[in-house]
Amino acid sequence: MNANLREQLKQLLLSGLLQTLEVRLQEAKCSKLDYAEFLELILEDEMVVRSDRQIERRTKAAAFRDQKCLDDFDFDFNKSVKRKQIYDLAAGDFVRKHHDAIFVGPPGVGKSHIVQSIGRQLIRDG
């Protein structure tokens, strides 16, 4: 890749494309991709990098104490926590409707784990 192209990609803030362009150029040459297929691949690369950065920024802004996920929660530990309700919350419908969700209970029942897990899932889902 020439220096002029590299500089233009930097100015356009296309760092995802910049990272993968060399590989994609080789792939296009070897696979004889047409222009549209090549363009689709490099734009997809850029979109993946931007999505990853957005998730990283939102996760950092949320300031979660721990990196928890719902799959790690032991629903057998606390039978009062309803799996379906938690997964429904993780689907994010309450956020789209601009409703609140409040978790109340004594220490050690899994509130923080569940809340952080739901938050991480909602961030990943956009």
Instruction: Give 66-125 pLDDT, tens digit per residue.
Output: 888 888 888 888 778 888 988 999 999 999 999 999 989 889 888 888 999 999 999 988
Reduced to 3 states, what is the DSSP secondary structure of residue 119? helix
**Integer Cα distance of 123 and 66 in angstroms:** 15
Cβ contact 115:86 at 8 Å: no
Give the count of beta carbons closer than 10 Å to the beta carbon of residue 46: 20
Nearest to 120 by CA among 73, 78, 77, 60: 60
- Digit-coded pLDDT (tens) for 14-64: 988 888 899 999 999 999 999 999 999 999 999 999 999 999 999 899 898
**Integer Cα distance of 49 and 14 in angstroms:** 9
Domain positions in the chain are 3-62, 70-124
